[in-house]
Structure 1
């Protein structure tokens, strides 16, 4: 895990906020995994407006980060949707938290205990999902 960015309560993601998160990601990569930037960064995005906005595209072009295209309405191609949120929900199921800070602490703790293989599995499981998507001509399999 390189960056866990939790949006403050009541805020929503817009283009500026997203680019700020990308800046934090760039800084975190530089600090935690310096060789990664030399080998290139590839992001998988959906087609949300904030991601296709001019400001975001300019940011990505400036830093030369590549984007993997993502068919619309395809949660089965987003590792966060098919690989991450389910296990996190199961981990949190039935737990009670006194406040938001306690919940955030539990989420951070859960992420900190995941080993690299967990994330590697999520990325490698993309290949058969992409192959299925291509076979379906870009349509979601859901």
Structure 2
């Protein structure tokens, strides 16, 4: 099975093993327990006890970046696309540490990292992040809920089947639909290129409008007694 899935080159990958450590950290296991499981599973290829403890310290400090820190001017050795490919391959082996919400949790990790990089004062001021997402299964998966608790982000309640109060639905996708009218794509790459270009063409005020109108939308939901409106 390993040969058919080319797992032999992944099982000793440092990022892969760190992902397993993160899984056990979220499950509230100790670094010693995680190290013992790795040794039982991977033998000499397992991370050392000291390394496991170091990574658990990082996780406790809300540092969930699994890749090695880049040196100045050095190229990134492990791209997000490669990490997602790794996750896809491991999913096929039905490893229990990868669940439905892992891909979404990875996106949240990137978002948290981007906030720290692009808004350095955010971490210093301990500003609260308010997150609004719907009740799609990946969003409410246990690993995602646990990770959001470690971030201490406030998650707004979102009633089932309520596109009226999702900015992506009532603002972003509605505007995008106008741009897509009568447009035809002949490949996935062509569609992706158009979407990237369309998003890049919007200035900050476009996205701010979608957020700022949210309180008004919530009031309409209450006034309409939960019924849909346009």
TM-score, reference length from structure 2: 0.52
List 4+ stretches of structure 1 deviating above 6 A. Answer: none
Deviation sequence 1:14-41 (CA, Å, 0-9, x none):
3111101111111222223333454221
Q: Is the 8 A contact 1:132 1:141 kept in 2?
A: no
Q: Structure 2: any 5+ residue segments left out of the alignment?
A: 1-83, 89-98
Q: CA RMSD in A?
A: 2.4
Q: 1:110 to 1:61 in 2, by over 3 A?
A: same
Distance 2:183 2:146 in 1: 42
Aligned length: 132
Counterpart check, 1:85 vs 2:173: yes
**Structure 1 residues 114, 36: closer, same or farther in 2, change over 3 A?**
farther
Q: In the alignment, which of 153, 158, 183 is matched to residue 70 of structure 1?
A: 158
Q: Deviations over 1:70-104 (max 9, x none)?
A: 11111100000000101112112223334211211
Superposition map of 1:1-142 within 5 A: 14-37=100-123, 38-137=126-225, 139-142=226-229
Higher relative contact order (CA 8 A, sep 6+): 1
Of 20-29 and 59-68, deviating more is: 20-29
SS at match of 2:194: helix
Unaligned runs of 5+ in 1: 1-6
CA contact (8 A) 2:164 2:221 kept: no
Q: Which structure would you say has the larger Rg?
A: 2
- What is the rounded CA distance, in whole Å, between the counterparts of 2:163 and 2:108 in structure 1? 21
Aligned pair in 2 of structure 1 residues 122, 20: CA closer, same or farther (>3 Å)?
same
Residue 52 of structure 1 and its aligned partner are, at CA, apart by: 2.1
